[in-house]
Amino acid sequence: MDRSFISNIKFISFIVMRTIACVIVFDVVYLLLMLYSGMKISEISVENVYWMVQFIATFVFLIIQITLCTAYQKIILTLGSRRKDFFMAKYFLVFAVIVITAAVLGGMTYVYDSISIVKYMYSLAMILGVNIITILCANMIEKFGMTGYIIFCVICGFIGGFIGGGVGALMKYKILKSVMVPTALTILATVVMIIVMALDKKWLDSYEIK
Amino acid sequence: MSNILECKDIVKRFKDKDALKGVSLTLEKGKIYGMIGRNGAGKTTLLSIMSAQSKPTSGSVNLDGEEVWENQKCIDNICFSRELNPLSTFGPNNVKVKELLRMASIYYPYWDKKMADSLVKKFDINIKQRISKLSKGMLSMVTIIIALASKSEFTILDEPVAGLDVVAREQFYKLLLDEYNETGRTFVISTHIIEEAADLFEEVIIVNNGNILLKENTMDLLERAYHVSGSADDINTLIEKYEAHHVENMGRSKGATILFKKGERMESSQDVMVQPVSLQNLFVALCGKE
Amino acid sequence: MNEILTQEKSIYIQISEMIERDILRDIILEEEKVPSTNEIAKLYAINPATAAKGVNILVDRGVLYKKRGIGMFVAKGAKEMIKEKRKEDFYDNYVKKLLLEASNIGITKEELVRMIEGSQGEI
């Protein structure tokens, strides 16, 4: 294994570890909130939709952190990393997390009837969708600095709002409950992701360190 | 072992200007090179390309015959320590010093942690500070520490003393010499503070307007550069005969900087005052006019 | 040693002259060790190659000799050697300039001689 590839893995892990405290805090707060809102300890199980949300959210957070490492491009290249290795390490880690999440969720879907394939597919599509937006935002933050950061936060806000309020409302439409729609969305998301990854590589290769 | 870093016909074109117009340069290991040039001459661009951090529009850079671009074997032996300016270190890039040192240790294969730690202590740098909060001097020191502790065979420093006061600068020169004496690493140092560093450079490279004006052993260069002054007639005779620069007039008195070719000598005349020129004065004479 | 470098001459020449002066003034004695090239380079913040060139001028003339693995030493008779060479160079380095300046300002040779004879007591 290439030493430089491993260096990049180490670097990205180091960056992600710095914010691991946030994840833990989030998880604890979420748990406390749910207990406060009346849930009983006995109800804690993975089938419960609240837990599924927390589970997915934790992993999505990890994915975002990994992808946001694009913003460290400048330091990484200045310290002498190859662009190839940084790109590979980043996506290796991202895909590792996505695959693990998908596998675990898939396992849960198989085991628990309460988690339908529909929900599973929507979750996958959402995970990929978030990654796509993060790739684009990370490049924006890199190019535009402060402004990019602000735009990223605004987008996060919108997504949060959408998930919170909008999804419930959309569920009125029967068609959205069929397996076809989310599956199609997932496939579309995969394709878009590949396109965006190619863009990311292009931007990285033509990046000039100022 | 890395021995020769060679640039062949490097051209770098940006949207609005031609930064490098066909630069060829050969650097041998084990020397201290000085690179001087005006702002915008192309020094940083050239150094960035030499260290495989930037791709030339055309031309190639080879280390011992192998192309350096995206070549890990070559990159492992070259360190380019840029000026870290506080403005560019926004957001995620605004890391703490100790994080930056940790990152350096991840990427530089020959990183010497002991050296980095002892230098940090020696210069009293607070490693818990974020780099945007460091003073100019501390920031310069951090980039110097990273360059020295990288222990790379070819170590390039871009204006390392820019933020340092004179006492700190002298400490840097001594540090550099210590390291050079101990390891014989190759150093390429670009600087605007020419006179202080002139004596350190075994060879000096002058970059002007995207071209290499000259690359020569410093002692040899200074032995063929003189300032002549006297009556306008006498000086004019010399100007016609030899390569003259930076001609100055004041009334009937005239002065010029003459650059002799290797081995050329001037017949000494009673009436013409001949003085040796410092590297700084020579640089201004060669690159000052525009 | 420990003088300040000037711009008047090449650095390596100044290094060799400094060592010569120290030998003449008995600051370094014959058969004693001279500071190493690296020490000199560090003291003056100059490239070791430059320091080495200055030292080698003296080695070539026999003023210094090298003891393998230890360093450079002042040769026996070095003081005399230096004095001899300086006597040879005295005319070019000092007398010529003296005569030139004297002629520029109109001091005759006789006046010069009178000045030299008059100064017997001072130096």
Residues 6+ apart with CB under 8 A from A161: none
More confident of the two residues A61 and B86? A61
For position B148, what pLDDT does the model report?
A: 96
Candidates A79, A146, A209, partner chain B, best to mutate (most B CBs within 10 A): A79
- Out of B180, B200, B220, a domain closes at B220
3-state SS, residue C67? strand
Q: Tell me the pLDDT band of B61, cut-offs 50, 70 and 90.
A: very high
Per-residue pLDDT at B214: 94
**For residues B78 and A80, what is the distance between their CA atoms, to the nearest angstrom?**
8
B46 and B133 assigned to the same domain: yes
What ipTM was estimated for this complex?
0.87
Residues B174 and B252 in one domain: no
- B239 shares a domain with B116: no
CB contacts < 8 Å between B and C, how many? 46
| C122 vs B211, more confident | B211
**For residue B262, is pLDDT > 90?**
no
Instruction: For residues A114 and B28, give the distance between their C-alpha atoms in angstroms, rounded to a whole number.
Output: 70
Q: How far apart are CA A139 and CA A70, in angstroms?
A: 7
Both B228 and B215 in a single domain? no
Q: Alpha carbon of B281 to those of A183, B241, B285: distances in Å?
A: 73, 21, 6
Task: Locate all alpha helices (DSSP H) within chain A, ordered by sequence.
Answer: 3-18, 20-36, 49-67, 73-78, 83-111, 117-144, 146-161, 167-170, 180-205
* Minimum mean pLDDT range among A146-155, B277-286, C111-120: A146-155
Look at residue A71 and tell me if it is in a domain. Answer: yes
A68 touches chain B (CB under 8 A): yes
Over residues A31-53, mean pLDDT: 69
Residue C100 pLDDT level (bands cut at 50, 70, 90): confident
Cα B157 to Cα B148: distance, rounded to the nearest angstrom: 9
Please check whether residues B210 and B136 belong to one and the same domain: yes
C121 CA: distance to closest CA in chain B (Å): 33
Q: Domain range holding A75? A: 3-205
Same domain, B33 and B164: yes
* Interchain CB distance below 8 Å, A71 and B53: no
**With contact defined as beta carbons under 8 Å apart, do B46 and B10 qualify?**
yes
Cα distance between residue A17 and residue A11, in whole Å: 10
Percent of chain A at pLDDT > 90 equals: 22
Of the three residues B187, B220, B253, the one that is the final residue of a domain is B220
Helix (H, G, I), strand (E, B) or coil at C102: helix
Residue A120 domain-assigned?
yes
- CB contacts < 8 A, A to B, total 72
Taking a C-beta distance cutoff of 8 angstroms, is the pair B25, B212 a contact?
A: yes
Number of domains, chain B: 2
For an interface test with B, the pick among C47, C92, C97 (most B C-beta atoms closer than 10 Å) comes out as C47
pLDDT of amino acid B250: 84
| CATH number for the domain harbouring residue B279 | 3.30.70
The pLDDT, as a whole number, for residue B175 is 94
pLDDT value at position A165?
60
Does residue A210 sit within a domain? no
- pLDDT over threshold 70, residue B191: yes
> Residues B184, B273: one domain?
no
Domain coverage including residue B22: 4-220
pLDDT level of residue A155 (50, 70, 90 thresholds): confident
| Predicted confidence (pLDDT) at residue A39 exceeds the cutoff of 80 | no
Mean pLDDT of B81-94: 72
pLDDT of residue A17: 86
**Residue B290 above 60 pLDDT?**
no
Task: Give which of C97, C47, A2, A115 is closest to B107, Cα–Cα.
Answer: A2
**What is the average pLDDT value for chain B, to the nearest integer?**
90
- Number of domains composing chain A: 1
Return the pLDDT at A22: 78
Q: Which of B137-141, B238-242, C7-11 has the highest mean pLDDT?
A: B137-141
Chains that touch A (3 or more CB pairs under 8 A): B
Of A146-155, B240-249, B257-266, C51-60, give the range with the top mean pLDDT: C51-60
Identify whether A195 is part of a domain: yes
In terms of CA atoms, which chain B residue is nearest residue C43? B174
- Confidence band for B268, pLDDT divided at 50, 70 and 90: low
Same domain, B8 and B132: yes
Q: How confident is the model at residue C59 (pLDDT cuts 50, 70, 90)?
A: very high
Q: Indicate if B82 and B168 belong to the same structural domain.
A: yes
Which pLDDT value is given to residue A51? Answer: 72
pLDDT of residue B84: 78
- Amino acid letter, B120: V
B141 with B249, same domain: the answer is: no
- Local confidence band at B106 (pLDDT 50, 70, 90 cut-offs): very high
Q: Which helix (H) or strand (E) segment is C74 a member of?
A: strand C71-74
Instruction: Enumerate the residues of chain C whose CB falls inside 8 A of the CB of residue B174.
Output: 42, 45
* Class of residue C48 by CB neighbours under 10 A (exposed 0-12, middle 13-18, buried 19+): buried
Examine residue A16 and state whether it is found in any structural domain, yes or no.
yes
Are B202 and B253 members of one domain?
A: no
User: Is A83 within the bounds of a domain?
Assistant: yes
Q: Which residues contact B132 (CB under 8 A, 6 or more apart)?
A: B86, B89, B90, B94
A151: tokens are: 């735009």
The pLDDT, as a whole number, for residue A173 is: 65
**Regarding predicted confidence, which is higher, A58 or B177?**
B177
Which helix (H) or strand (E) segment holds residue C66: the answer is strand C64-67
Same domain membership, residue B144 and residue B247: no
Number of H helices, E strands in chain B: 10, 14
Q: Which of the four pLDDT bands, split at 50, 70 and 90, describes residue A156?
A: confident
Q: Single out the residue in B199, B220, B241 at which a domain terminates.
A: B220
CATH number at residue B209: 3.40.50.300
